[in-house]
């Protein structure tokens, strides 16, 4: 027996499956709620559809274009409800994550537009000052040697209290409050990297290599310079809002979590 061609259409199979599910649910004593079969496209929903069109197209839709949007909305709503009815949302990692994200978003929505006052921002800045600390500034003295052996010999003599003098070079003998970038620009990357590994001391240290040769270094000070509040105000406000969002998400979860009893089998 040859079946008509339309029986091989996927849509027919889909509708047939839906009918079987409907009958199975009804016979099982769980009739489908008639209210769930009502799709209401009221004035508010139509306004939302028109707004969505305008945001994409840059103009209001015509009546015909709005009708098309309404038809598409109805189609999506029908398929969405039937997908839920068939349980197609279950065990779907993508759907699960989207629903989790929406719950998080609903908990933090108000924080997205919260505007802190000046006192709140300054208090946040003071409480998190270390977060905004700039690069460490260094102050040091240095003497230069073309040969590593000479540099080590001079270091040994300096340990006995002898005066330390190196070879002439067009580099500053003393540097005060310089950033790592400035040190690198003057002395080279190799010197800056080795200097970063030293601890401040009243004694000469080294030899420290550079692209020029070898240096003995007396690292007098290293400290971080905190930027002024006004210079990074926007960054502080963004961080304040991010922390507020995270706090409200956690608070909302804690409230919801308290209503559950969780059993973890070990």
Per residue in 185-243, pLDDT (tens digit) is: 999 999 999 999 999 998 999 999 999 999 999 999 998 776 788 888 898 999 998 89
List the one residue out of 102, 179, 101, 112 whose CA is nearest residue 139: 179
Q: Which band of pLDDT confidence, cut at 50, 70 and 90, is reported for residue 108?
A: confident
Q: Which band of pLDDT confidence, cut at 50, 70 and 90, is reported for residue 79?
A: confident
Domains within the chain, CATH numbers bracketed: 5-98 (no CATH), 131-224 (3.10.50.40)
Mean pLDDT on 18-44: 60
Q: Using a pLDDT cut of 70, give the percent of the chain over it.
A: 85
Other CB atoms within a 10 A radius of the CB of residue 183 amount to: 20
Find the radius of gyration of the CA atoms of the chain. 36
**Are 215 and 104 spatial neighbours (Cβ–Cβ below 8 Å)?**
no
Distance (Å, rounded) from C-alpha 118 to C-alpha 125? Answer: 11
pTM exceeds cut of 0.85: no
Q: Which band of pLDDT confidence, cut at 50, 70 and 90, is reported for residue 24?
A: very low
pLDDT given for residue 144 in this prediction: 95
Mean pLDDT of the chain: 82
Residue 128 has pLDDT above 70, yes or no: yes
What value, to the nearest 5°, has the Cα angle with vertex 206 and ends 204 and 210?
125
Residue 159 has pLDDT above 70, yes or no: yes
pLDDT given for residue 219 in this prediction: 95
pLDDT given for residue 8 in this prediction: 55
Match 């260094």 to its residue by tokens.
Answer: 138
Residue 34 has pLDDT above 50, yes or no: no
pLDDT given for residue 150 in this prediction: 94
Mean pLDDT on 1-13: 52
pLDDT given for residue 229 in this prediction: 87
């Amino acid at each position: 027996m040859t079946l008509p061609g339309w029986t091989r259409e996927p849509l027919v199979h889909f509708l047939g499956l839906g009918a079987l599910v409907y009958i199975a649910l009804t016979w099982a004593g769980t009739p489908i709620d008639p209210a769930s079969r009502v799709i209401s496209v009221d004035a508010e929903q139509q306004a939302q559809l028109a707004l969505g069109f305008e945001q994409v197209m840059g103009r209001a839709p015509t009546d015909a274009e709005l009708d098309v949007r309404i038809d598409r909305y109805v189609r999506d709503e029908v398929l969405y409800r039937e997908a839920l009815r068939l349980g197609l949302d279950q065990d779907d990692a993508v759907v699960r994550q989207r629903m989790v994200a929406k719950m998080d978003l609903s908990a933090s929505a108000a924080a997205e537009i919260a505007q802190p006052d000046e006192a709140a921002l300054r208090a946040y800045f003071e409480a998190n000052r270390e977060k905004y600390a700039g690069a460490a500034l260094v102050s040091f003295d240095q003497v230069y040697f073309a040969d590593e052996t000479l540099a080590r010999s001079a270091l040994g003599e300096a340990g006995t209290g002898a005066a330390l003098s190196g070879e002439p070079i067009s580099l500053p003998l003393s540097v005060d409050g310089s950033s790592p970038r400035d040190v690198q620009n003057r002395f080279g990357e190799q010197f800056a990297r080795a200097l970063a590994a030293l601890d401040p001391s009243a004694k000469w240290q080294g030899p420290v290599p550079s692209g020029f040769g070898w240096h003995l270094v007396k690292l007098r000070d290293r400290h971080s310079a905190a930027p002024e509040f006004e210079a990074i105000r926007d960054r502080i406000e963004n961080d304040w809002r991010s922390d507020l969002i995270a706090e409200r998400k956690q608070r909302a979860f804690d409230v919801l979590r308290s209503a559950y009893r969780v059993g973890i089998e070990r």
